[in-house]
Amino acid sequence: MRVLFIAACILVLAIAVWVRRVTFFSSFVDRQALSQDLILAAAYDYDYSLLSMQWPKSFCNTGQVECSQVPADFTIHGLWPQKNGQPVKCPGEPRYDDAMLKGNVSLTNTMNQIWPSLNPRKPNEKFWGDEWEKHGTCTNSVYKYTQNDYFQLTCDSHLGIVPGTSHSIYDYKNAIIESELNHIPTFQCNSDWQGTVQLLEIRFCIEQTGRHLQDCNLPITDPWCDKVDKIAFP
């Protein structure tokens, strides 16, 4: 019970932030005045999107990359449309427009803070462009979202999760499904330069209209997480 209580405390901030995000998310979609026909059409293109939140320290402490800065909070890896549990191959068009993004100073500043490239060899603009063309263009095909719409929606889905110590992956899962989030995510792990297995990403499933979380009907962990009983959260 003590371990579960600790794990639940780790996610309290995530719950509060998520409630605010869903409220904004719903109002944003409402402002787009999406027709029922478009919502139905979306089901044929992708079932849901996978929001991947990565823990920067676990990305940077492997000895394989030298991060110039290590953010103190979870950052966004991406928002990826999925079909039958697999990534959707998006059209890749329209291409990323850096001038369009820089025309929105507030959005650019937000992305620099919560969606930075952790790889010093890939500038933020290159990282964001790749995410838009590989994943975001599906939202353009279905909902006619621009790249800035996609970036804004992704940023507004950001979950403010804070680190703890070490817990079993099922403690994390149970804390989430017993909270207001009440949906099963999926977890990704890696190991640091000393070989310690650690939490790298928490991935949440969002139904295709972007209004609500849903259970991820995927394996709860990758094989790396299954190597140990306790997962470090450095």
Please list the pLDDT of the chain residue by residue as tens digits (234 residues). Answer: 443 333 333 433 343 333 333 333 333 334 444 344 444 344 347 889 999 999 999 999 998 888 988 998 889 999 999 988 888 888 888 999 999 999 999 999 999 999 999 999 999 999 999 999 999 998 888 778 899 999 998 888 876 666 666 788 888 788 777 776 778 889 999 999 999 999 999 999 988 766 678 888 888 888 999 989 989 988
Known active-site residue 77: yes
Asked whether 87 and 140 are in contact (CB, 8 A), the reply is no
Q: Which two tokens stand for residue 121?
A: 């060899």
Residue the block writes with tokens 């279905």: 142
Residue with tokens 């966004």: 76
Report pLDDT for 34: 39
Cα separation of 159 and 81, whole Å?
Answer: 18
Quote the pLDDT of residue 76. Answer: 94
The reply to whether 135 belongs to the active site is yes
- pLDDT tens-digit series, residues 164-182: 667 888 887 887 777 767 7
Residue with tokens 């068009």: 93
Looking at residue 62, its pLDDT comes to 93
Which is catalytic among the residues 93, 131, 158, 167? 131
Burial of 12 (C-beta count, 10 Å sphere; 0-12/13-18/19+): middle
> Is residue 87 within a helix (H) or strand (E), and if so which, with residue range?
strand 86-87
Using CB atoms within 10 Å of the CB of residue 157, give its burial: 0 to 12 exposed, 13 to 18 middle, 19+ buried.
Answer: buried
pTM (2 d.p.):
0.78
As beta bridge partners, residue 231 has: 167
* Alpha carbon distance 17, 22 (integer Å): 9
Q: Where are the domains of the chain?
A: 2-232
pLDDT of residue 209: 67
131 assigned to active site: yes
Q: Is residue 20 within 8 Å of residue 155, measured between CB atoms?
A: no
Give the per-residue pLDDT at 234. Answer: 85
Write down the architecture of domain 2-232 according to CATH: Alpha-Beta Complex (3.90)
Beta bridge partners of 87: 82
Which of 66, 77, 93, 183 is the catalytic position? 77
The C-alpha atoms of residue 227 and residue 187 are separated, in whole angstroms, by 13
pLDDT for residue 116: 96
CB 115 within 8 Å of CB 75: yes
Instruction: Quickly tell me which residue has 């975001």 as its tokens.
Output: 136
User: Which of the residues 135, 158, 167, 201 is marked catalytic?
Assistant: 135
